[in-house]
Amino acid sequence: MEALYENIVQLELGQIIMWLVGGLLIYLAIRHDMEPTLLLPMGFGAILVNLPNSGAVAEEGVLTTLYNAGIANELFPLLLFIGIGAMIDFGPILSNPKLMLFGAAAQFGIFFTMCLASIFFPINDAASIGIIGAADGPTAIVVANLLKSDYMGAIMVAAYSYMALVPIIQPPVIRLLTTKKERMIRMPYKPAAISKKTRILFPIVITVLAGLVAPDSVALVGFLMFGNLIRECGVLNSLSETAQKVLANLITIFLGITIASQMQAEKFLQPETLLILGLGLFAFVFDTAGGVLFAKLLNIFLKEKINPMIGAAGISAFPMAGRIVHKMGIKEDPQNFLLMQSMGVNVSGQIASVIAGGLILQFFG
């Protein structure tokens, strides 16, 4: 009984605030269905680690053990990439390779934000903060960990939170930068026949090229492409299905609750955290804007116009960003189907964000 009273007396205001933060994440997951497999474990974990003398984050606590075993050595994010790779169909970009340009253009915010963040933080932390704009949690974890950032918790939370908030953040940015006429541009999908050999060679070739350009990206790109090779080889269908569903969901749950181990009040409730969250949002918005503005620039020279909204799908939040662009197109014109084009840009953004992370590691690692 005495120990119970001691715990209550040791309860601090910061811990109660983090309970509210955890409650908000749980609310968004359940009430608004925002990435529930991620936000719900993060929210519950935030409450778990902010109980006085919580055994979950003790020296040998379960979350500390999971963090050391799965995040400190990048194991969880890399395993998750196998599942993501198995989900991706590269058919749309193989049919229309120019869509890869939009994935590259949508990484502008990463490097712009890195330069801005370097005013406030050392370059390793600034580079880690910039990668938040990719809306790619696994890449953000790997980059921040390898660059030994002092703000791992804030960076991980920002990266995954903005991934979940894609449906809220992107539409206003897209509408601000486009006219109704531009949003109504139709883009008939003209699929090309892609041979099985091409689909099998694509992940292998991309891995080799990425490894030659940015060797530090090999693990990131390699695990993503390995997952896709499992999908496309045609002889591992049950393994592909397991990677897409069981592996991806299990690792996402572990990631969410383990990330929460870095959300202890004394670490998280700092002025730097708010600044990182703000810079991460800035990166995210400018990545979206970069893709849209690049499409508008191309339209100056093209006879067959591109719907500039598809440029926003060049961030790495797969498949949310692609679906949002498709839904916005349908809202403007019920006959305007942009799903295949936006998904093509979205998967190219997945590749581009991983390569961007590898380049950052190459320069600053």
Q: Give pLDDT tens digits along the chain (365 positions).
A: 555 567 777 778 889 999 999 999 899 889 888 778 888 998 999 999 998 888 888 777 888 888 888 888 889 989 999 999 999 888 888 888 888 888 888 888 888 889 899 999 999 999 999 888 877 778 888 888 888 888 887 888 888 777 777 888 899 999 999 999 999 988 887 777 789 999 999 999 999 988 888 787 788 889 999 999 999 998 989 999 999 999 999 998 898 888 888 888 888 888 888 899 899 888 888 889 998 999 999 988 888 888 999 988 888 777 788 888 889 989 888 888 888 888 888 888 888 888 888 888 888 86
Residues sharing a CB contact under 8 Å with residue 79, sequence separation 6 or more, in sequence order: 223, 247, 251
Structure tokens at 64: 């500390």
CB 265 within 8 A of CB 149: no
Q: Quick one: tokens of 309? A: 């909204």
Instruction: Taking each helix axis as running N to C, give the angle between helix 137-146 and helix 339-364, from 0 to 180 degrees, rounded to the nearest 10.
Output: 0
CA distance 28 to 39: 8
- In this structure, the number of other CB atoms found within 10 A of the CB of residue 204 comes to 13
Within 13 A of 340's CA, how many CA atoms are on the CB side? 16
The pair of structure tokens assigned to 280 is 């991460």
The amino acid sitting at 18 is: M
Tokens found for residue 364: 């600053």
Three-state DSSP at 98 gives helix
Query: How many residues are recorded in the chain?
Result: 365
To 5 degrees, how large is the angle CA 350–CA 351–CA 357? 95
Position 126, amino acid: A
Q: CA of 109: how far to CAs of 90, 106, 116, 234, in Å?
A: 24, 7, 10, 37
- Compute CA distances 319 → 63, 95, 124, 297, 316, whole Å: 29, 18, 29, 25, 8
Q: Which among 207, 187, 202 is positioned nearest to 354, based on CA atoms?
A: 207
pTM across the whole model: 0.84
